[in-house]
Amino acid sequence: MRSGTMPTLSGRGALVFSLAMLAVFAYAAYEMNTAFSTRARLFANALIVPALVLAVAQVVREVRRLHPLPVPPEAAFTRSAFKWAAAFFAMLWAIGLAVTIPLFALVYLRLAAREAWPKAVAYAFFAWLFVEVLFIRLLHVPLPGGAIPLPAITN
């Protein structure tokens, strides 16, 4: 496996995931049983009671097994994948989707996929064209704008 990957499944991470699940059920139990009538919480309580029991059992099981496990192949996400995904959504928040699409496509293909400039530029252009023609012109779909206003570029 390349460097930057996460080859083992941390037992602590699995415990945190189970604890988060338990916390959600505990909060659900609290809200339903403090703010709702017996009739209104009928369905919720039918779920929450077994959920709390099973979640506690799962947490106990995870506590008793605090050691790394082999990562299944489908769970071998690389750290760079998270960084690129985070970059996309950060760009989306900052400059909006219309500008993010060609810019991200260009930078991602050039740096992450190590494509040649002409291919990356062509891809970025067609990505922009695809969104412009299909979503903006034909389907009239509004695209999310960014926190930084770029009125001349975004529609």
Contact residues for another protein, defined by CB under 8 A:
5, 9, 13-14, 17-18, 20-21, 24-25, 28, 31-32, 35-37, 39-40, 42-44, 46-48, 50-51, 54-55, 57-58, 61, 71-72, 74-78, 80-82, 84-85, 88-89, 92, 97, 101, 104-105, 108-109, 112-113, 123, 127, 130-131, 135, 141-144
Cα(117)–Cα(111) distance, rounded to whole angstroms?
A: 10
CA distance 111 to 114: 5
Q: How far apart are CA 109 and CA 102, in angstroms?
A: 11
Taking the complex as a whole, the smallest distance from the CB of residue 151 to another protein amounts, in Å, to 18
Written as six digits, the tokens of 115 are 């494509």
List alpha helices for 36-147, DSSP H: 42-63, 79-95, 97-107, 117-130
How far apart, in whole angstroms, are the C-alpha atoms of residue 84 and residue 53?
Answer: 39
CB of 140 to another protein, least distance (A): 11
Smallest distance, another protein to C-beta of residue 141, A: 6
Burial class (CB in 10 A: 0-12, 13-18, 19+), 26: middle
Closer Cβ to another protein, 90 or 152, answer by number: 90
Residue 8 or 152: the one with the smaller Cβ distance to another protein is 8
How far apart (Å, rounded) are the C-alpha atoms in residues 97 and 127?
12
Q: Please, which residue, 108 or 154, has the CB nearer to another protein?
A: 108
Q: Which is nearer to another protein, 121 or 135 (CB)?
A: 135
Q: How far is the CB of 129 from another protein (least distance, A)?
A: 12
**Shortest Å distance, C-beta 19 to another protein:** 12
